[in-house]
Amino acid sequence: MTTLSNKKFHLAWFLNFITDDWQGTWGDGGRDWSGDFYVEMARDLERACFDYVIIEDKLMVSTAYGGTMEADLKHGVNPKHDPVPLAVLMTQATERLGVVPTMSTSFYPPFLLARLCATIDHIARGRFGWNIVTSAEDRAAQNFGMDRLYEHDERYAMATEYLDLVRQLWDSWEPDAVVRDQETGTYVDHTKVHVVDFVGKYYKSRGPLNTVRSPQGHPVLCQAGASAPGREFAARYADTIVATGSNPTRMKAYRDDIRAKLVAHGRNPDDCKVLFLMSPVVADTVEEAHAKKLRWMSEPRYIEMVLATMSSITEIDFSRFDLDAPLPAVTTNGERGFLEAFARRAEGKTLRQAVIEDGMSGTADFVGTPETVADRMAEIMEEVGGDGFLITSPEKKLNRRYVTEITDGLVPALMRRGVVRTSYTHERFRDNLLEF
């Protein structure tokens, strides 16, 4: 067992709302769309003392790979259910776990989203979060009456104004506005509820919300800030950030950059937790874990599925590229940060090697027994400086067995090392996130 400092780091999980492992021995065959599997999973994550779970989302069926919907639907890339109702179910089945669905600033009216977040934070008793995205697909825009999305950097300019508005709406009720004074018959002190009269370049809203201020005031804000505008946006608003990193040096450089930007925005850098995506593969022996990973990730259908997923995310047709040649230089108006991160991981490799070795989240360092993977996680966090990991299953390999391997195998190994929480100190999401 590696001996390191006792500084703790956070754990969270990143998932899609559709049961992934519909072909495997341990899956449910893809027949359960009720959300029961994910509610069970939320209970497992809480038992393992995870800080939160993010529910990813897209708003279209992609034709980016090969110009048709075939690969997207064949591999189950973008059939998804709305994450917000599932988030409510998860909060009702748990007591401490933070739940963070994805909602897009490009398609939700600001007042509607602000009201929805405040409402669910009450239902969740202060455990709700919002994963902020601007969306990155013209095909999604076309489902909402647009021909195409705004340009990448302008989407972030719009999102900045959007966040300024929704935060003012959340603050339109002072914390003590509800008085419930039976003597005067007053439920709300009207002097403590304020219009916002927001007029910007892109958005306009009178306010106030007609929703009582939520337990946390603002939901916990999550964002995946990878591109230059994305980093600035995340540093300005986010309480926790989804990040990728191919090695500890780059992970540390990213975290240091974000923390410097937080200071530049007048924020305490410890008030935003950077969690790095990882897809651990664990087994009883190191050799068995590597064999499992190779068995999963070298199948031709797995490679096509990953490339179809990356096409959906980036709007780049990866079917055009030679699998046995390096990834050519490409640009996108889609998820630029993801593309740049994958391109860095693919340096010096063929496209096939990059997919098999690293997948979409970079798993090379996290294959082994629960003990060896826990050691590596602790070592990397010591080198990076914090703040934790965001676990996601290898593509389409999420099932009860995988969840159990993490919650009942890997996490106990981390707990024995004293590097993750063994219980929750607080009732509310943000308080637990800021505990260390």
Assess contact for 315 and 392: CB atoms under 8 A. Answer: no
Q: Is the pLDDT score of 414 beyond 90?
A: yes
431-435: list long-range contacts, CB under 8 Å, 24+ apart: 432/51, 432/96, 432/98, 433/10, 433/51, 433/52, 433/98, 433/220, 433/239, 433/240, 433/273, 434/270, 434/271
Q: Give every CB contact of residue 433 below 8 A, 6+ residues apart in sequence.
A: 10, 51, 52, 98, 220, 239, 240, 273
Burial group, residue 192, by CB count within 10 angstroms (0-12, 13-18, 19+): middle
Question: Per the domain annotation, does 344 fall within a domain?
Answer: no
Q: What is the mean pLDDT of the chain?
A: 92
pLDDT at 105 over 90: yes
Which whole-number Å values give the CA distances from 131 to 98, 100, 123, 238, 291, in the listed order? 12, 6, 18, 9, 35
Q: pLDDT-derived band of residue 395, with 50, 70 and 90 as boundaries?
A: confident
Looking at residue 366, its pLDDT comes to: 93
5 lies in a domain?
A: no
Lowest mean pLDDT of 24-33, 115-124, 317-326, name the range.
Answer: 24-33
pLDDT of residue 302: 84
d(CA 173, CA 246): 44
Give the amino acid at 76: G
Q: What is the CATH number of the domain that holds 56?
A: 3.20.20.30
> Would you state the pLDDT for residue 284?
97
CA 267 vs CA 126, 140, 236, 429: distances in Å? 22, 34, 8, 19
Of 421 and 355, the one with more pLDDT: 421
Does any domain span residue 53?
A: yes
Task: Please say if the pLDDT value at position 42 is more than 70.
Answer: yes
User: Tell me, what DSSP letter sits at residue 300?
Assistant: H
Cα dist. 278→95, 310, 362, 364, 431 in Å?
26, 17, 6, 9, 24
Is residue 361 included in any domain, yes or no? no
Coil vs helix vs strand at 332: coil
Tell me, yes or no, whether 327 lies in a domain.
no
405 domain-assigned: yes
In the DSSP assignment, the letter for residue 410 is: I
| pLDDT-based confidence at residue 263 (cuts at 50, 70, 90) | very high
Query: Does residue 163 register a pLDDT over 80?
Result: yes
Residue 64 has what pLDDT? Answer: 94
Mean pLDDT of 43-56: 98
**Residue 291: inside a domain, yes or no?**
no
- Report the alpha-carbon distance of residue 275 to residue 249 in Å, rounded: 15
E-assigned strands of 309-397? Answer: 367-368, 388-391
Q: What is the mean pLDDT of residues 131-135?
A: 96
Whether residue 238 is contained in a domain is answered as: yes
pTM of the complete model: 0.93
Q: Identify which has the larger pLDDT, 258 or 309.
A: 258
Asked if residue 394 lies in contact with residue 296, where contact means CB atoms within 8 angstroms, the answer is yes
Number of structural domains (the chain) is 1
* Domain enclosing residue 81, as ranges: 10-282+367-433
Give the residue-averaged pLDDT of 32-54: 94
pLDDT at 243 over 60: yes
Query: Do 258 and 235 contact (CB within 8 A), yes or no?
Result: yes
